[in-house]
Amino acid sequence: MSDVSAVCAAAKTAAPALARTSTAQRDAVLEAMAGAIDGGHDAILAANRRDLDAGAEAGLSSAMLDRLRLDPDRLRGVAAGLRELTDLPDPLGRVVRGFTLPNGLDVRQVTVPLGVIAMVYEGRPNVTVDAAGLAVKSGNACVLRGSSSAINSNVALAELLRAAVADRGLPAELVSLITDTGRESVKHLGRARGLVDLLIPRGGAGLISAVVAESQVPVIETGVGNCHVYVDRAADLDMAVDIVANAKVHRPSVCNAAETLLVHRDVADAFLPRVAERLTADGVVLRGDEATRAVIPAEPASAEDWDTEYLDLTLAVGVVDGLDDALAHIARHGTLHTEAIVTQDRAAARRFTSEVDAAAVMVNASTRFTDGGEFGFGAEIGISTQKLHARGPMGLAELVTTKYIVEGDGQVRR
């Protein structure tokens, strides 16, 4: 597709201009971008309203509409996120290691930009700003391809960001948006080898698996979040109720929300009625196994429920015989994203953190904390569930690579 190739080629041409800038120059661009968001509320919200109206007409769920919705508070948060990036250390030019060889050569491994980062994402137009901000701070050009559901919002945001970049004397093509939201545009992005240095898919399982399977460009996989909370027999039950409720209800439409609750059989009778009362009061639909339904009212859980990322106010609930059973269940159904244990038993906590295979493991804390902003990264471009280069919330440190700089005084190899 010629327009996708043209956008990527323009970003590739523009990237060196950003790589040459100083920390202060890139921070100035971020401040200009934040100012553009602050001054563009009317245009952004009008565009977002068109997306919300179209989404409601198309029958999007309330959770999906929440992911799509922008309001003044959210926009202020988006702008604040850009400004927070200016307070973070420059990820470029950092010496990872350095040494001098016996022949006198001075060797340094130094962080440098990747070049052009492309991102494919669904809903959540704030990702347009987060991704652009992280790319600028890390010295990379970005090519963004959002979903059709957020196209008006993304166009409005991208126009403001591009104008801010140009106002600081840099090519607007450093922030590029592909407006073709058809499937072919994603395929062509994945084939832009030589123009795109990294492709990051962020969205549902179908989108991510298609990009991973078809891309010829290096991909960092941001997996779906079928996250579990396991309430151990040694749990503080008051704490457990608060953690489960927060993990499920705080923002159910995001990938770090809990989708399955596992409860040790020894505390099921005491805990399940308490947590069910709290959750149902917040509108959560419970789907339980036979042991759960013997204690509380719940819909029967099917085999598919244990593998479902609901992204909504639905929670699968199961009673397990103990830590072994919980670990086995998570190994079968988890998605390597975030898993949590609530327990006062240090040995159980240590074993859980050691054996669970996930990008983030929480002990006595909500799954909702797996987030670049919460980790102090300023923002995140996604949460990686793979094991190479980047894992977990990806901030500035994950958006750079390295090169070796070797300085000598005439050495030749013999």
Kindly provide the b/e burial profile for residues 210-233, where b requires at least 16 CB atoms within 10 angstroms of the residue's own CB: bbbeebebebbbbbbbbbbbbbbb
**Lowest-confidence segment of 1-10, 132-141, 155-164 by average pLDDT:** 1-10
pLDDT of residue 2: 57
pLDDT for residue 377: 84
Residue in 3, 38, 103, 27 with CA at minimum distance from that of residue 409: 103
- Higher-pLDDT residue of 382 and 138 is 138
In tens, the pLDDT along 144-190 reads 999 999 999 999 999 999 999 999 999 999 999 999 999 899 999 99
pLDDT at 350 over 50: yes
Domains and CATH numbers, the chain: 2-222+394-407 (3.40.605.10), 227-369 (3.40.309.10)
Task: Give the confidence band of 63 by pLDDT, cuts at 50, 70, 90.
Answer: confident
pLDDT at 389 over 90: no
pLDDT more than 70, % of the chain: 100
pLDDT digits (tens, 9 = 90+) for 352-365: 999 999 999 999 99
Q: Quickly state the pLDDT bin for 1 (edges 50, 70, 90).
A: very low
Helix H or strand E encompassing 160: helix 151-167
Share of the chain above pLDDT 90, in %: 88
Q: What is the pLDDT averaged over residues 6-23?
A: 97
pTM for the full model? 0.86
Q: Hey, what amino acid is at 307?
A: D
